[in-house]
């Protein structure tokens, strides 16, 4: 069961009456984001291609009295994305908030990555984000209202060894989100980016070699030009979800085209 720093009842809170869509909803940051929005009163459409995990996520929230509705989706299919977004609005109502959290990580040196590693990374991280954003934001523009947050990475702006495909894909989605935000700002739609660093998810543990663990990420690796984390701790998925919820909220009503980095200072504020 996911825990969060705040509690609320369904239908109450700052997001009461709003419809939110979260992609990658069954993953660590995605699942925490679903919870963060639901406890703040939103009705959440949870999108992911892991049907079993998605159903379990919805069941847990239902037990707690929070409206989370599962919608199985492969974001790499443009036709499926269009169909599911239409179904979300038909079933739940007009979408007010979108969180693009779907993503995969393929590790390896840039000159040794396979074609499949490269194309899969961009299919999910970039093409999927484009398909979903196009389908949802077009509707927000018609209604002259909406807020979008894309979960990128601090690797989008800081080179990381073995992460060239991932970093390139996250740089692409960050710039796409900001460019889209510039285009739709006059329609009252805000688009921002949250850039996590090392976060306690399965994606992080995939980076650890045998015998390594959280401390290796905290201490850094000089031979790989990783400076470590000044705050001395790894982020929780809830840390990222809370930052995302803020940018979706009316408290951030004059913030758009920005990146909020949640990495404990690992990229030294650059």
Taking only the tens of pLDDT, the chain with its 270 residues reads: 333 333 344 467 999 999 999 999 998 999 999 999 999 999 999 999 999 999 999 999 999 999 999 999 999 999 999 999 999 999 999 999 999 999 999 999 999 999 999 999 999 999 999 999 999 999 999 999 999 999 999 999 999 999 999 999 999 999 999 999 999 999 999 999 999 999 988 777 766 666 677 787 898 889 888 889 999 999 999 999 999 999 999 999 999 999 999 999 999 998
Annotation marks residue 225 as catalytic? no
pLDDT at 211: 60
DSSP E strand boundaries for the chain: 19-23, 43-48, 68-72, 97-100, 146-151, 189-196, 259-262
Per domain, the residue ranges of the chain are 19-197+237-260, 200-234
Q: Which residues of 243-260 are buried (b: 16+ CB within 10 A; e: fewer)?
A: bbbbbbbeebeeebeebb
pTM for this model (two decimals): 0.92
Catalytic site residue from 166, 190, 192, 235: 166
The maximal CA–CA distance of the chain, rounded, in angstroms, is: 53
Quick: pLDDT tens for 32-60: 999 999 999 999 999 999 999 999 999 99
Q: 19-197+237-260, superfamily in CATH?
A: NAD(P)-binding Rossmann-like Domain (3.40.50.720)
pLDDT at 210: 61
pLDDT at 2: 37
Query: Residues near 80 by Cβ (< 8 Å), separated by ≥ 6?
Result: 73, 74
pLDDT at 1: 35
Nearest to 265 by CA among 226, 217, 228, 210: 228
Quick: pLDDT tens for 211-258: 677 787 898 889 888 889 999 999 999 999 999 999 999 999 999 999
Q: What's the CA angle centered on 122, arms 119 and 127, to 5 degrees?
A: 120
Query: Residues near 212 by Cβ (< 8 Å), separated by ≥ 6?
Result: none
Cα–Cα distance, 55 to 173 (Å, whole number):
28
């Amino acid at each position: 069961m996911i825990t969060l720093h705040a509690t609320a009842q369904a239908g109450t809170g700052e997001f009461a009456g709003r419809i939110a869509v979260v992609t990658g909803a069954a993953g660590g940051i995605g699942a925490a984001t679903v919870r963060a929005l639901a406890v703040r009163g939103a009705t959440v459409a949870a999108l992911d291609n892991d049907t079993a995990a998605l159903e379990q996520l919805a069941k847990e929230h239902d037990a707690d009295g929070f409206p989370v509705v599962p919608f199985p989706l492969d974001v790499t299919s443009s036709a499926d994305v269009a169909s599911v977004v239409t179904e979300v609005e038909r079933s739940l109502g007009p979408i007010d908030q979108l969180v693009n959290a779907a993503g995969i990580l393929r590790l390896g040196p840039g000159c040794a990555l396979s074609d499949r590693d490269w194309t899969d990374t961009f299919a999910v991280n970039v093409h999927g984000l484009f398909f979903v954003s196009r389908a949802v934001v077009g509707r927000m523009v018609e209604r002259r209202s909406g807020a979008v947050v894309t979960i990128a990475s601090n690797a989008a702006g800081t080179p990381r060894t073995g992460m060239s495909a991932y970093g390139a894909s996250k740089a692409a989605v960050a710039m796409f989100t900001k460019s889209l935000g510039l285009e739709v700002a006059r329609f009252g739609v805000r688009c921002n980016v949250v850039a996590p660093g090392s976060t306690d998810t399965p994606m992080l543990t995939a980076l650890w070699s045998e015998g390594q663990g959280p401390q290796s990420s905290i201490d850094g690796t000089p031979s790989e030009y990783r400076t470590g984390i000044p705050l001395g701790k790894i982020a929780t998925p809830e840390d990222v979800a809370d930052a995302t919820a803020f940018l979706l909220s009316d408290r951030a009503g004059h913030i758009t085209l920005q990146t909020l980095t949640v990495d404990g200072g690992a990229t030294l504020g650059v």
